[in-house]
């Protein structure tokens, strides 16, 4: 009796066995379930405000629910707030002439840097408005704007 070679045995095998189809089906089901939870269902945490820090020190906090803000003094920095049409234009300036103007859009619950003298390219002014995620960072001025989530936390931001 002659034994079949390994090559001949491989030629006789089916491309998919029943067990393979089960594994592929379960994998596809897992991907579909993860897609539903991560993309389709809305986030449970919504923005409840925005926090502005300079060199890691909080200088301004805005709370959307109460439409109130708190200015914290930081040596060498001045924070000014103008209320126009229900929106707030926040100016954070330092004693050495650096400044950032931040628009807090209360209707859309968003924040955006609209003017700055940080560098020639003014990268932070081209950052998209942030709502319930993300951050705006002006590295030359060590300024950071982050949303405050409804549970009181902020998303972890490195940099």
Structure tokens that stand for 1 in this block = 């009796």
Angle at 119 (CA atoms; ends 113, 122), nearest 5 degrees: 35
Q: 60 — alpha (psi -120 to 50), left (phi > 0) or beta?
A: beta
**What is the distance between the alpha carbons of residues 141 and 99, in angstroms, rounded to a whole number?**
8
pLDDT in tens, 11-52: 777 777 888 899 999 999 999 998 888 777 766 667 889 999
Q: How many other CB atoms are there within 10 angstroms of residue 48's CB atom?
A: 19
pLDDT at 159: 46
Cβ neighbours of 41 (radius 10 Å):
8
| 3 state DSSP class of 99 | strand
Q: How wide is the angle at C-alpha 110 spanned by C-alphas 104 and 111, nearest 5°?
A: 50
Helices (DSSP H) in the chain: which residue ranges?
6-12, 18-35
> What order of strands is seen across the sheet that includes strand 143-149?
68-71, 57-63, 47-54, 143-149, 136-138
Q: Phi/psi of residue 57, each to 5°?
A: -100, 130
Q: What is the pTM of this model?
A: 0.69
Dump pLDDT digits (tens) for 49-108: 999 999 999 999 999 889 999 999 999 999 999 998 889 999 999 999 999 999 999 988
Calculate ∠ Cα 103-141-113, nearest 5°. 15
């Amino acid at each position: 009796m002659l034994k079949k070679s390994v090559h001949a045995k491989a030629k006789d095998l089916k491309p998919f066995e029943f067990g393979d189809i089960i594994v592929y089906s379960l994998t596809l089901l897992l991907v579909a379930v993860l897609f539903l939870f991560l993309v389709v269902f809305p986030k449970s945490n919504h923005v409840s405000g925005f926090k502005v820090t300079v060199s890691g020190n909080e200088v301004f906090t805005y709370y959307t629910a109460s439409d109130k803000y708190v200015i914290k003094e930081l040596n060498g920095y001045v924070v000014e707030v103008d209320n126009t049409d229900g929106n707030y234009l926040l100016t954070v300036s330092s004693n050495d002439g650096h400044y950032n103007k931040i628009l807090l859009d209360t209707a859309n619950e968003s924040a955006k840097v609209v003017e700055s003298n940080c560098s020639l390219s003014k990268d932070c002014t081209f950052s998209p408005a942030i709502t319930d995620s993300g951050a705006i960072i002006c590295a030359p001025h060590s300024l950071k704007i982050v949303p405050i989530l409804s549970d009181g936390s902020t998303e972890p931001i490195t940099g």
